[in-house]
Amino acid sequence: MRIGVVSDSHGRMDFLRDAVKEMREIDLLLHAGDHYKDALDLAKELTIPVYAVAGNCDWHVNGPDEEVIEVAGRKILLTHGHSYNVKSGNDRLIEKIKKGNYDLIVYGHTHIPEVLPVGSAFIFNPGSIAKPRRGNTRTYGIVELKNYGLQPYIKEISG
């Protein structure tokens, strides 16, 4: 199973569509907030499940702060990350992944891609598809679920 992961589209539906097109064959799409409405609009165009959460810039919509997704025997927490103070570090997410027995936590907010192993689990930020920071390019993520576990990785958007 392949999961596409995006965050921080900030109204750039063109960039969001570009990222999904580059992902090719995915079974599920996760959007880690900013802008929640982008994910809702894209879900109308896709034939796969789309899960999304609201971010700090989504004060005008009534979206969930977090989603727990169980797929293929894996437990995934989807959050924007601002409520975990991720701009100051991942300590609270590390604590959450251990206490919640998650296989993967997906977050956004920082606009900086990251793959952080925590034991056999991962904390994963796909970066931003619209407004990258710290010299990064526009990025998205792919998570491959395998028999032995899962593997998240970052992909740069071409063009």
Sorted by where each begins, the domain ranges of the chain are 2-156
Which whole-number Å values give the CA distances from 154 to 59, 85, 92, in the listed order?
28, 22, 22
Q: Is the pLDDT of residue 159 over 90?
A: no
CATH fold of 2-156, please?
Purple Acid Phosphatase; chain A, domain 2 (3.60.21)
What is the tens place of the pLDDT at every residue in 33-75? 998 999 999 999 999 999 999 998 888 888 999 999 999 999 9
Peptide linkage before 35 cis (omega within 30 of 0): yes
The percent of residues in the chain predicted with pLDDT above 90, rounded, is 86
Collapsed DSSP state (helix, strand, coil) of residue 127: coil
Would you say 34 and 57 are in contact if contact means Cβ atoms under 8 Å apart? yes
Decide which of 66 and 147 is more confident: 66
What is the tens place of the pLDDT at every residue in 88-117? 999 999 999 999 999 999 999 999 999 999
Collapsed DSSP state (helix, strand, coil) of residue 114: strand
pLDDT at site 59: 83
